[in-house]
A = this chain, B = another copy of it.
Amino acid sequence: MADSIERLPVRRITREGGKNIRDTVTRELPLTIIFNNRELVTLLCSPVDLRYLAIGFLTSGGLIGHRDEIKGILADDSRGVVRVETGDGKDPDAGLLTKRLITSGCGKGTAFYNVVDVKNRTVMKSDFSISPSDVFTLVREFQNRSQLFKSTGGVHSAALCDAGNILVFNEDIGRHNALDKVFGECLWEDIPTADRLIVTSGRVSSEILLKVARRDIPVLVSRSAPTDLGIKLANDLGVTLVGFVRGERMNVYSHERRITA
């Protein structure tokens, strides 16, 4: 946490005039991920848990499926580099990363997610369920944990939870990074994700929904708004999507059977 923020000089201006203060600012670091000796990507992120972020990014990108595949990992936090070796010499182009940035399809809108991600997936059948009051309690606790956001207003949070507890929690200036840090920790620490739920502070676009569905997580809860494509994918893939959880109200956009009184 200490590494994620710093205090910088700021000129605070109000109707009464200006004064020089020091204010808390969130830090941003370029993190380069080197996969099997090839530079894969540079992410802009909060400089904490870089190892988890790298693993989560590679997992979300389809390059790593299990902890055992990682033969070596070296995180140089000060230089912002994480090297990951899989031992099998796998080519980064084998994953979803390239395809997701540069589609190989005909350019038809829906082809983007259909072809690449959705076609081979079955609909999630998990019987996991959670009560509305447990959702409200979890999100309240989630809010309390989001200290960095409170002090700087500049980050997103994500958490893996069961019906009663936050199990894994992380923060980042990017909502994708926050989620990838959670997934990276789950993979590295052998924490199961099936029959659990994800809470996120960020809006749910199609990419976020796909990331969660790919981990077989049946319920995704957001404090913010989903997009129509996020909702459509949630319906198609069997994910219960909850949005706009504020105090004691929420919107359920899909598969509401898992939200039970």
Contact = CB atoms under 8 A, between A and B. Distances in A.
A107 B225 contact: no
A159 B127 CA distance: 47
B32 A253 contact: no
State the number of copies, please: 2
A205 B44 contact: yes
A103 B44 CA distance: 12
Contacts of A122: none
A61 interface: no
Contacts of A231: 8, 25
Contacts of A34: 107
Interface string A31-48: 010100001111010000
Contacts of A104: 39
Interface residues of A, number: 67
B11 A228 contact: no
A153 B244 contact: yes
Interface of A: 6, 8, 10-15, 17-18, 23, 25-30, 32, 34, 39-42, 44, 76, 79-81, 100-105, 107-110, 112-113, 132, 152-154, 173, 203, 205-207, 224-231, 244, 248-253, 256, 259, 261
